[in-house]
Amino acid sequence: MNSNFKIFVLSFLAIAMLGSCKKKEDRSSTTGWVYNDQKWGGFTKTDSKGQETGPNLVLIEGGTFTMGNTQEDVTYEWNNVPRRVTVSSFYMDETEVANIDYREYVFWTFRVFGANYPQVWRSTLPDTLVWREELAANEPYVETYFRFPSYDNYPVVGVSWLQANEYCKWRGDRVNEMLLIEKGILNPNPEQKDGDNFNTQAYLFGQYEGSVKKNLKDQASGTERKVQLEDGILLPSYRLPTEAEWEYAALALEGNMVNKKDEIISDRRIFPWNGDNPRYQKRDKHMGRLLANFKLSGGDYMGVAGNLNDNGSIPQEVRSYMPNDFGLYNMAGNVSEWVADVYRPMTAGTLRDVDNQDLNPFRGNEFKQLVLGEDGKPVEKDSMGRLKTQLMVDSTIANRENFKKAQVKDYLDGDSPLNGYYDYGNSTLISNKSRVIKGGSWADRLFWLSPGARRFKDEDKADRTIGFRCAMTRMGGSAGNDDPGGNRFGKTKSTKRKYK
């Protein structure tokens, strides 16, 4: 090869490399305008890889299932008549929230609010007196169960529904703050005090700055800016699962899928495992072991010394026993769990199409809005660092077609067509404070371990048998970040115009 030809080849390669390095324009498929370019208006399109999975969460791929009783109703309450519903994909905690997790929350609250707002810190403390019993020697648990390190990984109990909700809000803010720290946007700031603490909503609306390390570079202008929701970095709030989500996740019918192509499920489940027996059935070293922590019979909480059956006279570690087919631990037994719903009996007499939603059913909505100032922006955040909200006012609802009230906990609940509320204390013990409890506990008989079983307790009460786990809404493809967004045929040929 002569020298002139070598020079020609090298020159050609250099030009090709320079051409390949030229930034490819990303244009709108509907207007042709260029994204991320100040000359074209500066509209920003983020190249997001999809929603990140938060700590301890498992993706629960949604689907249709028969919600309700899966066994004989031995209590004759008929409060959960089977009906078919669909649940959208969501995330669920792999385990119940443990003592060590909740103590972290109490510690943070004391560090931030303890000096000037001690009532905020005190409101987080679990009710350890739930262990007291007139005719039982459970007094040591009052002092030890929540605090002693041997119980770190045991499920927290003595937490009311209201406290569980506050924990969910706190956890979502801490996770998003850590995401911004890991992205190099914020510095860790353990000196936060009172209202000057990271809150996701306050940050997005410009009412929290924090210790900034380096803000994002705006692709259009080249200047720095704060993270926006459109960047796909921040996660939705942690929350309690709805009753439908909890029941769907507990049954985990995905494990009985025979033919995914034809959507065939071999068998409906009574428990989070197959069969009507609480013992492991496969012929291996685990055969015969109990699959959950529950009360076998009167006075038998854990079996006989030397060969304990479920090994738990009280709650056991959150990763004990066999997980279900979604990978979730203790969806039956150990502790019952709070869910988001307001309790109402679901009987055949109330199951009318107008009463019940078959996509993501939930009772307990309160439609709220931010409190805005005269300038249309949110008013100053409160002493806890949160933006102020209120129930939507009638004037903003009047012309709507999809809902007419802001508070719909008692919407068409069947109790009193005239008054529209449950007559608590006279005709019933059910009120708008009654919240659904799912899953049996260490102190319950086998019947209550069925995901279809349901009970209720007032939202401001607590118990030694009740804990909780968190959930999160899934944004994007139902099957995860690699899901093509519902196009079962894969990517089809684009008719997008080719710009020069």
Q: pLDDT tier at 89 (50, 70, 90 boundaries)? A: very high
**299 vs 222, which has greater pLDDT?**
299
Pairing of strands 336-342, 466-467: parallel
Domain assignment present for 493? no
Domain assignment present for 46? no
Residue 489 has pLDDT above 70, yes or no: no
Q: How far is CA 418 from CA 354, 394, 421, 422, 444, in A?
A: 17, 21, 9, 11, 38
- Specify the range with the lowest mean pLDDT, choosing from 219-223, 334-338, 470-474: 219-223
Total number of domains constituting the chain: 1
Residue 255 has pLDDT above 50, yes or no: yes
pLDDT in tens, 328-356: 999 999 999 999 999 998 755 454 444 56
Half-sphere exposure of 140 (CA within 13 A, CB side): 4
pLDDT of amino acid 433: 95
Pairing of strands 216-217, 224-225: antiparallel
* Contact between residue 121 and residue 174 where contact means Cβ atoms under 8 Å apart: no
Q: For the residues 376-393, what does the mean pLDDT come to? A: 95
pLDDT of amino acid 96: 98
Domain assignment present for 417? yes
pTM: 0.91
Mean of per-residue pLDDT scores for the chain: 88
Q: pLDDT tier at 74 (50, 70, 90 boundaries)? A: confident
Q: For the residues 384-397, what does the mean pLDDT come to? A: 92
Q: For the residues 179-183, what does the mean pLDDT come to? A: 97
Q: pLDDT tier at 277 (50, 70, 90 boundaries)? A: confident
pLDDT of amino acid 488: 61
pLDDT in tens, 121-175: 999 999 999 999 999 999 999 999 999 999 999 999 999 999 999 999 999 999 9
Residue 70 has pLDDT above 90, yes or no: no
Domain assignment present for 481? no
Domain assignment present for 42? no
Q: How far is CA 110 from CA 12, 105, 117, 177, 209, in A?
A: 67, 9, 9, 18, 22
Six-digit token string for 220 = 């259009």
CA of residue 176 relative to chain centroid, distance: 14
Q: For the residues 440-469, what does the mean pLDDT come to? A: 96
* Contact between residue 198 and residue 177 where contact means Cβ atoms under 8 Å apart: yes
* Contact between residue 432 and residue 422 where contact means Cβ atoms under 8 Å apart: yes
Domain assignment present for 407? yes
Give the CATH number of the domain where residue 105 resides: 3.90.1580.10
pLDDT of amino acid 362: 95
Q: Residue 244: which domain range?
A: 57-473
Pairing of strands 454-458, 257-259: unpaired
Domain assignment present for 484? no
Domain assignment present for 492? no
